Structure formats: C-alpha cells, structure tokens
Amino acid sequence: MKALIIGSGLGGLTAALRLKAKGFDVEVVEKYHQAGGRLNQLKKDGFTFDLAPTFFSMSYEFKEFADYCGIDVPFKFIELDPLYTVNFSGSDRRFVIYKDLKKLAAEFNGVESGFEAKMEKFLAGAARLFNDVEYRIIKKNHDTILGYLKTLASVPIRHTPMLVRTMWDEMNRHFDSYEVKVIFSLVAFFLGATPFDTPAVYKVLSYTELRHDGYFVVEGGMYKIVEGLLNELDRQGIKIHYNTEIINFVEKNGKISNFIDRAGNRWKADCYVVNADAAFFRGQILKRPEFVDEKLDRMSWTLGPFTMYLGVKGHIPTLDHHNYFLGTNFKEYSSKIFKNEIALDKPYYYVQANSKFCPESAPEGHENLFILCPVPDLRFKPDWSDANTLADTIIADLSQRTGYDIAANLVSKTVIDPVGWAKTFNLYKGSGLGLAHNLGQVGGFRPKNVDELYDNLFYVGASTVPGTGLPMVVISSKLVTEQILKRYEPIR
C-alpha cells in the first residue's frame, strides 16, 4: 500500500513516519529545495536563522509521536524560563515573563495589584477548560457538522460563556492594567489574530504557556526538528523529491489516479496526503467552486508575516532570547492592522536573538536576529514595494529601544514580505499561519482532513484540524493517520 505525501512541512514529515510505522510504502514530493515548510532555515553570510517558528509548546505531543512510530524523539529540546520579555514604547521598563508566579508577580509590582491571586484564578479557569476540551475537541476527528455539534454539547455548560466572550473580554474580567491585559493577549496577536475577535476559549493558550507545559526551544536551532525527522525518514527508506510542485491531477472512478507536477511527471499512489494549505489546495489545484478566491477571501485568515533576518556585529546586552516590542495603542493597532487601516510607522514586532542561546548560529562577536512583524495579508495590502521602508523603521526603533546602533553594525540583512512567503510556500494571500481560529473555522467547521469527493485524498497541516502551531500540526498528523487507517487496514 503506497502513500504519497505532497509537502514536507512538519505535518507531512510526521504523517509520513506514522504511516510508515503502520506498514505503508511512503514517498514525499516537495515544491521547495529543502524540507520543513515554514519550519525552515536560512543560512547567509555565516549566520544561521530559524525561518519562522522559534519555540513551541505541548512538548509531550512530540513524545506521543515518537512512541507511536517506535522511535526516539529525534532532537533535543530545552524548556524556556524566563519565557520572553516585553517592552512598551516610551518606557525603558522591560517585563520579564516567568513561569514562576511569584517571580512573575514581582514584575508587575505597582502595575497590577493582587496580580498573583488574579493570575491563579485566571489559570485555574483556563486549566478546567483545557482539560474539558483537549480530548473532546482538539484531539478528535469531526467528520460531520452534526457530530461536532454533539461533541460541543458534551463540554460542561460552565464553559459556554467562553464562546460568546472575546479574549479581551476575559482579560477585562480578571485584570485591570493595560500592560497585563496586552501581554497575556500576545499569544493571540502573534498567532495572527487579535484578542478583540478571538473567542475567550483561547485563554487555554495562556495555561499551556504558564502552567501546563511551557515553551521549549531546540538545541542547535528549530531546524534540528526537521533534520532529525529527515534522518529518520532516510533510515526508514522514505524518499523526498525536492523542487517538485504539484499543479494538476487525474481522477478515475471517484479516486485520484495520479497527481501531475510542473515538469509533467505523474505521481501515482493508493492514497495521497496533502500538506499544502488545505483550503488553498482545494481551490487552486482541485478547482473546487467552494474554494475559489472570491470565497476564500471572505474567510478569516491569520496575519501576513513580515520577517527580517539580521546579522549584527557586536553584542546587544539589552536583548534577551525572545522579546516583544509593543506600542501603547494596542486596541486601535490590533483592530486595524488586519485590514491595512493603520500606518506601519510604529509597528509591533517580535525579536529572537538566537545567538544568545545558540552561539554557533552567528560568527564570533556577532548577534543573530530574527524579527517578525505581523502585517496585512495580500487581500488588503498587495503591494509591498515599501518593504525596505518598514524594515528600516523597525531597525531604527529597535536601535532606539535597545540603545545599540543596529544599522551601523549590520553585516547581513534579508527581508521576506507576504509576497515572498506566498510565492515560496504557496500560502494563500501570504497568510502566515493559514486559516484563523474563530468559531466558524475550528473543529467541524474547519476544512476537513478527508476530501469531500475523493476517498483516497487526505489533508494534514495548519489549515485543517485541529489548527495552527507546531504541536497542533503534530496532532493533525495523528488525526489524518486515523482517517487513513479507517479506509486501509494497517499492513503491520
């Protein structure tokens, strides 16, 4: 029994190994010149950069994956503590976010009275919610809308208000200060949404961040995840064909007979798993009327990524490993940035200084900086001829806030705007993390991991169930494997 995986992102790689563990003959095709999808790597001028993800949560999902496949976790990871720092414009104060609530409370002395007790209450509610939905909703296939609604009905009624409140509403119920409410909403904003339109159920992300499992980084950089998985694929005889973009298909008797790449080669298998964006692929390749651009444009997508990879001479002591630089107009900024209704002259952005953790990622005496600025996707800002202007604005702002002249010490600079992200990884309209997570686009309402027409076609990755983020994608590979095994008996 042969399975062809289309795309070698984290979902495709983990699905390939899960299927191999069940006896399938597995092969992979990949558009890009190297594996990983957005979990990729850039090497330039002696620097090595994580291309997009820089940390992850729910580390136990990698352990579950390894146990499922009968292998060891093929990379080493370390828990972050402190998690990150936050600076607001106009202030020299840096808030250091610790998992230890007593240390964390000390950071908010004079800012939020009774912080520790308030946060304990907030996290206790988030823990109850997480425990009640993890296996009912997150780690479960939802094959029909009716079945999904029945599952939702099984969630304890005490969580119902979380469906009608926003994350910001929930923050207002527990905290008073602007700084606290913004900082603990960042998990929504930098996942491509805003706390003003994200359901309060996503308070569970704060629980996973601070209490449940925390955040983790990988020894040697995040691409070690991909390299470890590739070593395992190679050991098990799973071949990947790079620079191979699927553009068409042939159907026969209600099944996909084969897919066709840009060079005209035909790829035949018994079943196919698509690791490209599930909605984009249905529209662009399968030509489904339900997924044409006009209809996709009306869906909610995550923000576009504007990323920079900077090699800087010298060391910047005022930067930690993970840092957020924000303004004082969070509600206005986050509410308008989606639709390009606010100027990007005072942007909000995140900085990873990976050389603080992995000195080998930069030449001696240099810093390695990855910068992410969430921006409008190509629906709202199709023209990125001003990319260098935004890059210069961020560099100037970061220089001012850190007290270090980055522009004068810049030795390497790479900028990728949403146009570049869309072209390189087939991201719909340059949306960085695929479909957003409003109530109409989660669970049974998200594009399914089984195709509507072809019973040998399946999907894995961020825009199918359960959603975006590295651990969600690993779960996605388990869910799609379950779907495949319903139709094809495991060989061993």
Question: Please, which pLDDT band fits residue 129 given cuts at 50, 70 and 90?
Answer: very high
Question: Please, which pLDDT band fits residue 184 given cuts at 50, 70 and 90?
Answer: very high
pLDDT of 233-285, one tens digit each?
Answer: 999 999 999 999 999 999 999 999 999 999 999 999 999 999 999 999 999 99
Question: Please, which pLDDT band fits residue 440 given cuts at 50, 70 and 90?
Answer: confident
> Which of 89, 116, 117 lies closest to 102 in space, CA to CA?
116
User: Does the pLDDT value for residue 192 go beyond 80?
Assistant: no
> Which of 160, 112, 105 lies closest to 132 in space, CA to CA?
160
pLDDT of 357-394, one tens digit each?
Answer: 999 999 999 999 999 999 999 999 999 999 999 999 99
DSSP per-residue string spanning 89-113: TT---EEEE-SSHHHHHHHTTTTST
Highest mean pLDDT among 160-169, 195-204, 257-266, 482-491: 257-266
pLDDT, mean of residues 327-341 = 92
Residue with the bigger pLDDT between 365 and 491: it is: 365
- Look up residue 305 and give its DSSP letter: E
User: Does the pLDDT value for residue 490 go beyond 70?
Assistant: no
Distance CA 456, CA 192 (A): 32
What pLDDT is stored for residue 338 in this prediction?
87
Distance CA 184, CA 201 (A): 14
Distance CA 318, CA 326 (A): 16
Question: Please, which pLDDT band fits residue 182 given cuts at 50, 70 and 90?
Answer: very high
Three-state secondary structure call for residue 386: coil
How deeply is 174 buried, as exposed, middle or buried, from its count of CB atoms within 10 A (0-12, 13-18, 19+)?
Answer: middle
What pLDDT is stored for residue 193 in this prediction?
75
What pLDDT is stored for residue 187 in this prediction?
81
What pLDDT is stored for residue 198 in this prediction?
85
- Return the residue matching tokens 């359960």: 466
pLDDT of 49-87, one tens digit each?
Answer: 999 999 999 999 999 999 999 999 999 999 999 999 999
What pLDDT is stored for residue 202 in this prediction?
87
Three-state secondary structure call for residue 154: helix
What pLDDT is stored for residue 489 in this prediction?
76
Which are the contacts of 280, defined by CB distance < 8 A and separation ≥ 6?
291, 296, 426, 427, 428, 463
| Average confidence score pLDDT of the chain | 95
Which token pair is 442?
Answer: 């989660």
All structural domains of the chain, each given as residue ranges with its CATH number in brackets, are 2-40+50-78+218-299+436-487 (3.50.50.60), 100-213 (1.10.405), 304-425 (no CATH)
What pLDDT is stored for residue 191 in this prediction?
67
pLDDT of 271-322, one tens digit each?
Answer: 999 999 999 999 999 999 999 999 999 998 998 999 999 999 999 999 999 9
Q: Does residue 491 contact residue 23 with C-beta atoms inside 8 Å?
A: yes
First-to-final CA distance of the chain = 11
Share of residues in the chain with pLDDT > 70 (%): 99
Question: Please, which pLDDT band fits residue 491 given cuts at 50, 70 and 90?
Answer: low
Task: Tell me how many degrees the CA angle 187-188-190 measures, rounded to the nearest 5.
Answer: 70
User: Does the pLDDT value for residue 423 go beyond 90?
Assistant: yes
Question: Please, which pLDDT band fits residue 119 given cuts at 50, 70 and 90?
Answer: very high
What pLDDT is stored for residue 141 in this prediction?
94
Region of 209 on the Ramachandran plot (φ > 0 left; ψ -120 to 50 alpha; else beta): alpha
What pLDDT is stored for residue 194 in this prediction?
83
User: Does the pLDDT value for residue 17 go beyond 90?
Assistant: yes
User: Does the pLDDT value for residue 91 go beyond 70?
Assistant: yes
What pLDDT is stored for residue 190 in this prediction?
67
Instruction: Determine the length of the chain.
Output: 492
